[in-house]
Amino acid sequence: MSELKNDRFLRALMKQPVDCTPVWMMRQAGRYLPEYRATRNQAGDFMSLCKNAELACEVTLQPLERYPLDAAILFSDILTIPDALGLGLYFETGEGPKFKKTVRTEADLAGLKSIKAEDDLGYVMNAVSTIRRELNGRVPLIGFSGSPWTLATYMVEGGSSKDFRAAKSMAYNQPELMHQLLDLLADNVIDYLNAQIRAGAQAVQIFDTWGGALSAHAYQTFSLQYMHKIVDGLIREHDGRKVPVILFTKNGGLWLESIAATGCDGVGLDWTVNIGDARARVGNQVALQGNMDPTMLYASPKAIREEVGRILGDYGTGTGHVFNLGHGITPEVDPEHAGVFINAVHELSAQYHQG
């Protein structure tokens, strides 16, 4: 594989010196870009886009053609594992993901097919290797998965949920069944992420989108312990280079110390935490990723630059910060504003990396 021309992102995650703070955006290949919408129309629907390696590669690279981003992220979906387990993923316009089958009983759990990522999710590995080849060392490629708890909520609820009634009922009324499901998912996520690493992913992120919906005790029990298991099971060095792992729990700011203690390399922050306070709490244990509110991108260019400057100032001098939004970029954002944001990070952060 070709040498990396820009390894700022990996260096910051490993807390090594950088010339300026690296930046990428969650959902950077997405609906805010007209070129993405055109390619998605060409593919026919979202999953067809994910399953076509050439088109998935095309949309992954689109934001890099526009902006000087410091990383690319695989274009895929967090629900690929439940789909491969046989639940039948589909998307309703305006309603998000749904499953034809749910997992609510022991029989449902026993009925899940066993999967091997390289075979059953081969289209994801094809996309990873295609993107790596086309990147040609330009920037690192991030692979990802949903967390076991987040995947379980969709599998038990049958889709998105506002209150997670079915998933939480299972956790509290049938904890053994929920633990069996989470254990199965953790094993599958380990296999899936390791397959992505072997295919060429140079860092991986676990999206615990719904961990923050749990109480403090339930978070440790049903979400964090399974992410810890995954961190322990991942390939941490490949192709002569360390493979950093980022854990991102949305609304997880209360539990930063516990997340950092899993042995991950980076902790993703949403926008509800002050990044300076977060740094004081976790010290040198992990790098921090985040954490501008995505809706700031609706503000004026001047306000965007001021907010970037404020977050950089709160983090302070030295490495260990990967700039990102606190969640994914939203579809209605003006692409020009995303450009202002990315340029501001590079320009305003250089002063914090001198000497």
Q: Which residues are catalytic?
A: 27, 31, 40, 77, 154
- Does residue 29 have a known ligand-binding role? yes
Phi/psi of residue 242, each to 5°?
-65, 145
Residue carrying structure tokens 């995954």:
230
- Does residue 27 have a known ligand-binding role? yes
* DSSP H stretches of helix in the chain: 8-13, 34-43, 46-51, 53-66, 80-82, 106-110, 117-120, 122-135, 148-157, 165-173, 175-199, 216-218, 225-233, 256-260, 275-282, 301-315, 335-349
Structure tokens at 301: 């260019």
- DSSP per position, 233-291: HS--EETTEE--EEEEETT-GGGHHHHHTTT-SEEE--TTS-HHHHHHHHTTSSEEEEE
- Does residue 28 have a known ligand-binding role? yes
Cα–Cα nearest to 231, from 218, 212, 244: 244
Query: What's the CA gap between 71 and 55, in Å, rounded?
Result: 18
* Cis ω for the linkage preceding 274 (within 30 of 0): no
- Does residue 53 have a known ligand-binding role? no
- Does residue 154 have a known ligand-binding role? yes
Is 43 exposed, middle or buried, given 0-12, 13-18 or 19+ CB atoms closer than 10 A? Answer: middle
- Does residue 62 have a known ligand-binding role? no
- Does residue 228 have a known ligand-binding role? no
> How many other CB atoms are found less than 10 A from the CB of residue 277?
12
Phi/psi of residue 43, each to 5°?
-70, -25
Query: What's the CA gap between 199 and 252, in Å, rounded?
Result: 30
Residue carrying structure tokens 């689109």:
62
- Does residue 179 have a known ligand-binding role? no
- Does residue 196 have a known ligand-binding role? no
Q: Which residues are documented as binding site?
A: 27-31, 77, 154, 209, 327
Q: Which residues are documented as binding site for substrate?
A: 27-31, 77, 154, 209, 327
